[in-house]
Amino acid sequence: MPLKTHLDDEPTLNLTAMLDIMFLLIIFFMLGTRFVDDERKIGLRVPEVVDRAALTPASARRTVNVYRDGAITLDQTPVTLPELVDRLKSARRRHDDLGVLVRGDAEDKYQRIVAVLNACKQAGIQNLGIAVRPMPPGQTVK
């Protein structure tokens, strides 16, 4: 019976593939949080509603923000009311079922929001939505 005269090599664990996957996951999550931050940086506080029932989801194809200082943005691009009408008309020519979500500041004058809604009507938009958020429990409308 032969005797062992040399030591066997220690088994090694190759971690290269696992490290590659970990770096890819880190990059994926870093990019994902970047898009969430862009949405949070909008200096806009939408009105609150008391009703806790589910709201019907509005089309998220185009978003119009109406700020307290009178500024209007279409998909985060500053526009004037005539530019808004023109851009929505051209977008509607490409997509007949175009939807628009209007987000107005809760402290803003209602007239500015009505002007944006009228611009959407002039552009022929049929699918309109107005963004609101649920009011915290126990709070009442001021």
Residue 37's pLDDT is 59
Question: CB within 8 A of 135, min separation 6: which ones?
Answer: 48, 49, 50, 141
Nearest-angstrom CA–CA distance, 123 and 62: 13
Nearest-angstrom CA–CA distance, 136 and 7: 70
CATH number for the region 48-134 comes to: 3.30.420.270
Largest CA distance in the chain: 99
Give the tokens for residue 112. Answer: 């500015």
- Helices then strands (H, E): number in the chain? 3, 7
Of the candidates 76, 77, 75, the residue with the CA atom closest to the CA atom of residue 99: 75
Query: Which pLDDT tens digit goes with each residue over 58-69?
Result: 444 788 988 888
92 versus 39: which is more confidently predicted? 92
33 versus 57: which is more confidently predicted? 33
Are the CB atoms for 79 and 72 separated by under 8 Å?
A: yes
Residue 142's pLDDT is 64
Residue 20's pLDDT is 92
pLDDT over threshold 60, residue 95: yes
Query: Which pLDDT tens digit goes with each residue over 30-49?
Result: 887 766 656 666 777 777 77
pLDDT (mean) for 64-85: 88
